Structure 1
Amino acid sequence: MSKLVILITSRVEEGHRIGEAWQQAGAPGVTFVESYGLRRLQQAARNAEVLPGMVSLLEILRQDEETSLIVLCVVDDDTLVNKLLAATEAVLGSLMEPNTGVAFVLDVERTIGVRDHSTGQRAE
């Protein structure tokens, strides 16, 4: 069964290194998604010097530029999952330490169109 490996980190500046480390570990493809956590939304709302409703929290966050990064990869092999998690910790340090990130793995019942981008072949 395929697995979806998900990493969420506030260390956005390390994103490129994480992606390359995953690629070197054998990831067929790596996707990055910019995100905003609820805690940051709440902090931005408390710190905003505007009247409620005058500007969206998303606009405040875009000005602040404090985002998180979600890194995603679908793999077909538990061994590869372990390699990606090890590669993550090689870049960020232990995920058990504060301010590094959170990783988790979900079973994916079915995938369509998953390809190894280095070869163009279906990832198996």
Structure 2
Amino acid sequence: MVNLLVFVLSDRNQCRDIVDAWEAAGISGITILESTGLGRRQTGIRDDVPLMPSLSDLLANRELHHRTLFSIIEDEATLERVIAATERVIGDFTRHHTGLLFVVPVTRVLGSRSGAI
């Protein structure tokens, strides 16, 4: 079965390690997006920054960004290898702010490189 694996990575500094681990696990078509979650965004955005902010104002107003990675995976064995590789990089998903990983079945793909899906 073809699946879409989506992983929202909390620590964007681990993105390169995740991509390397996914490639080593057998996938090469990975899309990476910058993303912000609403819960963490509300704690990272201030509305009291002046019209002409100083450097300290800008640094105090840093938003919390994540990386969202996704890939279409054509077989169950590769999917399991990628999930295991992800856990080796980030550790236990039950720890706070590690990330969110989910898998969605895919019934149709248009624009795939292989065209076989």
TM bracket, shorter-chain basis: 0.7 to 0.9
Report the RMSD for the aligned CA atoms in angstroms.
Answer: 2.2
Unpaired segments of 5 or more residues in structure 2? 52-57
1:12-31 equivalent positions in 2, closer than 5 A: 12-31=12-31
For 1:26, give the aligned amino acid.
G
Residue 98 of structure 1 is matched in structure 2 by: 96
Residue 57 of structure 1 is matched in structure 2 by: none
77-86 or 35-44, which moves further after superposition? 35-44
Unpaired segments of 5 or more residues in structure 1? 55-59, 116-120
Question: How many angstroms apart in 2 are the aligned matches of 1:114 and 1:7?
Answer: 20
1:66 counterpart SS class: coil
Residue 10 of structure 1 is matched in structure 2 by: 10
TM-score if structure 2 supplies the norm length? 0.80
For 2:91, give the aligned amino acid.
G
Superimposed CA distance per residue, residues 27-78 of structure 1 (whole angstroms, 9 cap, x where no aligned partner): 1311111001101332234x43148xx8xxxxx8xx6152011010101101
1:99 counterpart SS class: coil
1:29-48 equivalent positions in 2, closer than 5 A: 29-45=29-45, 47-48=46-47
TM-score if structure 1 supplies the norm length? 0.76
105-114 or 84-93, which moves further after superposition? 105-114
Question: How many angstroms apart in 2 are the aligned matches of 1:24 and 1:122?
Answer: 23
Question: How many angstroms apart in 2 are the aligned matches of 1:39 and 1:69?
Answer: 15
User: Percent identity at matched positions?
Assistant: 31
Give the one of 66, 69, 82 matched to 1:68.
66
Indicate if the aligned counterparts of 1:29 and 1:73 stay in contact, CA closer than 8 A. yes
Residue 48 of structure 2 is matched in structure 1 by: 49
For 2:83, give the aligned amino acid.
L
1:19 counterpart SS class: helix
Indicate if the aligned counterparts of 2:32 and 2:67 stay in contact, CA closer than 8 A. yes
